[in-house]
Structure 1
Amino acid sequence: MISFMKRAVQLFLLILVLLIVLPGYSNAENAFLKKSAFKDNRTISIEFAGELDQEWATNPANFKVFEKSNPDVLLPVEKVALSPDKRTVSLNFKDDLNQKEPHVVSTTTVRSQGKDMGTALVDVKKPYIGYLFSILIGAMLINNYVFTKYLGLCVFIGTSKKKDTAIGMGVTFTIVMVISAMISWFLYQFVLKPFRLDFLQVVVFIGLVSLTVQAVDTILRKVNPALFKAFGVYLVLVIANCVILAVPLTLASNEYNAFESFMLALGAGGGFLLALFLMASSRERLELANVPPTFKGLPIAFVTTGLFALAFMGFSGMAIF
């Protein structure tokens, strides 16, 4: 069990390192434009490869900005500031920008030292690694599937009596969720969407979850019998858990790519593991507490779940990046 957990942690760290070294979004259509970013809530910063003509760079009329999802509504640029090295412009806006949505900045013909460098079109987004991390933390804490969406309560209540059982169920659940989510994403993007079979996604995803559980059951039985004895009892319960189905439906509706789908599944599984562990720790303490006879068993378990749900509401609206 300990060796398995170490390998899982090592794999997770390796994936994070790979994500960090990835270049992220390629967001510029003009080689003269180097990079862009949100400088603060009301400012977009754009860096160019050479010096700009001040008259062109400081004219707000040369820049058009809109949210990528709503191109018909232009965001008026209040003023433009040029850096001392004449390579970076800062577009200032009167109102706060919705940094959760990608923005597009288009320019007229860029003027640099008296030369025309062509027009530019650039996407402005948060750092991609930060976006991936926000999906992970969002599924784990901010939008925890148990405490904020109230999914999977039957398995949650039934397997949270002991910490060992809760950890075993949580690890098994996370493995199955990640595998089934990635297979679901592949089938949705390359089979269901191209052939316009989106209406079958619920049926397909349910079948994939069942196949994944059976595959994990068979592999554990052959590769690690000791681990199978610890997890095998709870594998059947995973099929009946609605959280397993909620994750593929979420990644399909949000049009997540492979990396984003992986982080969503990992966060949802980690959030379920966290919920199980917290609940199991509380229920072990409640066994020793002086609980009124009327509330012993399931009643006090549901009361405790409600208190945890109220506590997790404190994460609502939190923004990581």
Structure 2
Amino acid sequence: MSTLMKRSILLSIWLVSIFLASLPVCGHAAENSFAKKTDFKDNRTIVIEFAGAVDEEWATSPANFKVNEKQNPDVLLPVEKVELSPDKKTVLIRFGEDIDLRAAHVVSMTPVSSEGKNMGPAILDVKKSYFGYLFSILIGAMLINNYVFTKYLGLCVFIGTSRKKDTAVGMGITFTIVMVVSAMISWFLYQYVLKPYRLDYLQVVVFIGLVSLTVQAVDTVLRKVNPALFKAFGVYLVLVIANCVIIAVPLTLASNEYNAFESFMLALGAGGGFLLALFLMSASRERLELANVPPTFRGLPIAFVATGLFALAFMGFSGMAIF
């Protein structure tokens, strides 16, 4: 691995650290200090912890709780029932339908009653930690929704460059750099050019053009800095231009309306997932070269069998929820 590539990796890690350090710490805001903590238990339940025991008659009445999304204060969510824990310090608000855990919610409560005393009304903000949400995007793109093993994208480059670990790691790093740079430029153009001027229908053409420019830049740099790695990539570096993984990331961040931080984490996770897939596949193919494989399965057939087994293994991450 060249010195320039190592420096690029260190610079990327440093930039990620700065981004995460600059993020605000999101929690809950309570106008009543008697309410200690709020959180989502699942997609139909909000949990509220109090500093002391609350009266059961007050706590179990749904009429005492009004919940709405912060962006839609006029639309109240249907509270199905309210449960009180045995120690009477935790209230579980259950809803009749799924709620959007990505959105901030507001819980308005009538004056809290504790041991017959009026503790005053409370308005609580309930939202996921933004750092946790960013981390879930990163891990989701890398493992849970790996673009190779769960979405079956980019198989051409994946199969072609996974014969040797050195080539696979080099392609994975190059692929990640191209993906992050092109995704951030695509996000900027989408948010500030395509959307304001209603040119959304041109997003595929624009994204492919941006990826082409990025790949051409990487092609020129590798040709000068590391000719051996450039020669090992061969035609596959050119194929990155129209690779479906590279195009899928800008389309995903555009459809989900991700901001800059979220788009960066998605691109980094997708690139890291592709690097992980290449490394695992190259390690197994090097071992398969020494294995006693039947003649009819040697080469690509056994490679596809191994890919299918990896895909089955990654399906075990399906449905996982981070934060």
2:173 to 168, 171, 174: 171
Distance 2:153 2:71 in 1: 30
1:78 pairs with 2:82 = yes
Distance 2:240 2:71 in 1: 37
CA displacement at 1:212 relative to structure 2: 1.1
When residues 275 and 176 of structure 1 are mapped into structure 2, their CA distance, relative to the original with a 3 A threshold, is same
CA displacement at 1:114 relative to structure 2: 8.2
1:44 to 32, 44, 47: 47
Q: Which residues in structure 2 correspond to 1:1-321 (within 5 Å)? A: 1=1, 3=3, 4-5=5-6, 8-9=9-10, 11-12=12-13, 15-16=16-17, 18-20=19-21, 22-25=23-26, 37-38=38-39, 40-41=41-42, 42-45=45-48, 58=59, 60-66=62-68, 71=75, 73-79=77-83, 90-93=91-94, 100-107=101-108, 120=123, 122=125, 124-221=126-223, 225-227=224-226, 229-231=228-230, 233=234, 234-321=236-323
Which amino acid in 2 is paired with 1:38?
D
Distance 1:14 1:89 in 2: 40
- TM-score, normalised by the number of residues in structure 1: 0.80
- TM-score, normalised by the number of residues in structure 2: 0.80
Which sections of structure 2, spanning at least 5 residues, go unmatched? none
Q: Is the 8 A contact 1:169 1:231 kept in 2?
A: no
When residues 164 and 315 of structure 1 are mapped into structure 2, their CA distance, relative to the original with a 3 A threshold, is same
Aligned residue pair count: 310
Aligned CA-pair RMSD: 3.7
Which amino acid in 2 is paired with 1:12?
I
CA displacement at 1:57 relative to structure 2: 7.8
Distance 1:61 1:17 in 2: 45
Residues 268-294 of structure 1: CA deviation (Å, up to 9, x unaligned): 001101111111111111111111111
Q: Which moved more, 1:34-43 or 1:171-180?
A: 34-43
Residues 25-73 of structure 1: CA deviation (Å, up to 9, x unaligned): 5876x8778986316344433789xx9x989985643421246799464
When residues 55 and 280 of structure 1 are mapped into structure 2, their CA distance, relative to the original with a 3 A threshold, is closer
When residues 68 and 77 of structure 1 are mapped into structure 2, their CA distance, relative to the original with a 3 A threshold, is farther
Which amino acid in 1 is paired with 2:105?
V
- After the TM superposition, which segments of 4 or more aligned residues of structure 1 sit over 6 Å from their partners? 30-35, 53-57, 94-97, 108-117
Paired-residue identity, %: 63
Distance 1:157 1:175 in 2: 20
